Amino acid sequence: MRVALFITCVNDTLFPGTGRAVVTLLRRLGCDVDFPRAQTCCGQMHVNTGYPEEGRRLARHFVDVFAEYDAVVAPSGSCAAMVREQYPRLARTPAVPASITAGAPADLITGTLPPSAEETAAPGARERPRPGSFAEEVAATVPKVHELSEFLVDVLGVTDVGAYFPHRVTYHPTCHSLRALRLGDRPTRLLEQVRGLELVPLPGADECCGFGGTFAVKNPAISAAMCADKVHNVATTGAEVLCAADNSCLMHIGGTLSRQRTGVRIMHLAEILAATETGDHGVVRG
């Protein structure tokens, strides 16, 4: 199967080892992988910080780069969720109602809206964008984009990827993997099949680590408090390695784990799944 890798800008720049692990892993499973060099960023940082126009431009670019492929695999739940959830919204014409700052005159009677297009149109009409429109291109591209564990379990149909990793590991599900993508137990089913690996549950696993992209900078005190609690929970597991399907969350938690000298390492799911007894997996951080 010919697969396009969407490595994501954070992995490309800061965690290239994760990208190399994805290449190793997918090749071992018989995929023919390609890295479209024109890719840059999904635009999540811009959209989530309140710059939808920049985000729309990057979404446009993403669709241009990946439209021709049958399958796109991303080692990031957050970026995959961005594409799947936000792109269709970005592609719709932005609503231009009364501005929240302008404060349109309040009038009880004129406040009633005519039925929206959604209400009057036939069921499903909203899902059928105009032919040739950006919305249509997005609708065609989005279903081909898979987060790594989704691709392995749902598309390739494997949970045993032939990995060997003799360490005590705890798994943090990350919010976007958990609630936006609904990855469920796919990542842990994959980890459970790794030989030598002891998977220990993480208390409060479904609670956010406090990263939230620019949230960590805009609300530093709360972000740090959330991360401190997460790190405390990680420490109680006695795990050597904290694993997740998102390097941005791992970077955030890992930064605190390192500052507190806990000795717990962070590793992306792909790196553990790529590891084998012979060690020819390219899993070298940095």
Partner 1 sequence: MSGGATFLGMPAFPVNAAAAVQDSQLRYNLRKATHTIRGKRALAVGELPDWTELRRAAKEIKDHTLRNLERYLVRMEEAVTAAGGHVHWAADAEEANRIVADLVKATGETSVVKVKSMATQEIGLNEALELEGITAYETDLAELIVQLGDDWPSHILVPAIHRNRSEIREIFREKMADWGRAAPEDLTDEPRALAEAARLHLRERFLSTRVAISGANFMIAETGTLVVLESEGNGRMCLTLPETLISVVGIEKLLPSWQDLEVFLQLLPRSSTGERMNPYTSTWTGAAEGQEFHLVLLDNGRTDVLADEIGRQALRCIRCSACLNVCPVYERAGGHAYGSVYPGPIGAILTPQLRGTASELDASLPYASTLCGACFDACPVAIDIPEVLVHLRGRVRHPRVERLGMRAAGWVFNRPARLARTQRLGGRLRRFVPGRLPGPLSAWTDTRDIPDIPSESFRDWWDRTDGGVK
CA atoms within 13 A on the CB side of 191: 27
Taking the least distance from each CB to partner 1, the nearer of 28 and 189 is: 28
The residue among 63 and 197 lying less far from partner 1, judged by its C-beta, is: 63
Angle at Cα 270 formed by Cα 285 and Cα 162, nearest 5°? Answer: 115
Closest CB 156 distance from partner 1, rounded Å: 19
Taking the least distance from each CB to partner 1, the nearer of 38 and 122 is 38
Instruction: Name every residue whose Cβ is closer than 8 Å to that of residue 2 and which is 6 or more positions away in sequence.
Output: 31, 32, 33, 34, 69, 70, 71
Residue 186 or 197 having the CB closest to partner 1:
186
**Distance (Å, whole) CA 87 – CA 71:** 17
Structure tokens, 9: 């800008």
Instruction: Give min distance, CB of 159 to partner 1, in A.
Output: 25
Smallest separation (angstroms) from partner 1 to the CB of 65: 9
Closest distance between partner 1 and the C-beta of residue 265, in Å?
Answer: 12
Give the shortest CB-24-to-partner 1 separation in angstroms. 7
In the bound complex, what is the minimum distance in angstroms from residue 20's beta carbon to partner 1? 7
Q: By C-beta, is 186 or 281 nearer to partner 1?
A: 281
Paired tokens of 5 = 């890798």
Nearer to partner 1, 125 or 217 (CB): 217
CA-wise closest residue to 83 among 101, 60, 115? 60
